[in-house]
Amino acid sequence: MVLALASVIRPLSVAAVYAMLSAARPTRLLTAYVAAGFVFSTGIGIVLVILLGIAAGPRAPEEVRAVIPFVLGAVSLSYAAGLLSGWVQAPMPDRTRATPGPDASSWLGRQLANLSPRRAALAGVLTPKPGLFYLAALSAITNSTSSNANRILQVVLYNAIWFAMPIAALALARRRPAELQDFLRRTTAWVWHRQREIMITAFGILGVYLIVRGVVELRS
């Protein structure tokens, strides 16, 4: 669950929630965003932990269980190194814009500029799309137990934490909308303008963690 907490604040998700809070009916939009995103992400997670459980669960040989964190760790460290060296280009924020977030000319930017419940639901599926953090968490969940019921429960809990920010925004949207919008505007600006540094740090730490976990799996 540490991996879920580490990825609660994601640039695209923060920008999407801020855009919804700025719209005329934020509660409807946030409900569609959370419901569609949670169901989609949880569904993918459940399918993957079941498949991983068949191939690399607790009863699989140590070499098989260790190879997944090693591969994910190597990819994560390579991505962090690429960002640091400039071989991989991180999104370049436009600091002249009054509202931080995706470029207005991009596909996602156009969706967030003219929101409807349907578009909010689509954003809920696309903005928190599963990545290395999610795959690493699913690998850890798979190796933690041989019970599919336990794995499914952990996937549900992980996604509940993963969507904590939009869920909290939904709960507070009617009570303190102005304060919440101002807080998210400042948070979005801070996160959006520091994407490269955040990504290098996050993927570097994730890569080291996964490599260490792979070594532990081999020695256990």
For 8-25, how does the pLDDT look when each residue is reduced to its tens digit (9 = 90+)? 667 778 778 888 887 778
- The Cα–Cα gap between 102 and 94 comes to 9
Please give the model's pTM, rounded to 2 decimal places: 0.75
Which residue, among 61, 39, 76, 82, has the nearest Cα to 143 in the 3D structure?
A: 61
Identify the helix (H) or strand (E) that includes residue 184.
helix 177-193
Q: What is the residue-level pLDDT of the chain in tens, covering all 220 positions?
A: 566 666 666 777 877 888 888 777 888 999 999 999 999 999 999 998 888 777 655 555 556 666 778 888 898 899 889 888 888 776 655 555 555 566 666 666 777 777 888 988 988 888 766 577 888 888 888 877 778 889 999 999 999 988 888 888 888 877 766 777 777 777 777 777 777 888 888 889 888 988 888 787 777 6
- The Cα–Cα gap between 144 and 4 comes to 16
Ordered by start, the domain boundaries in the chain are 2-219
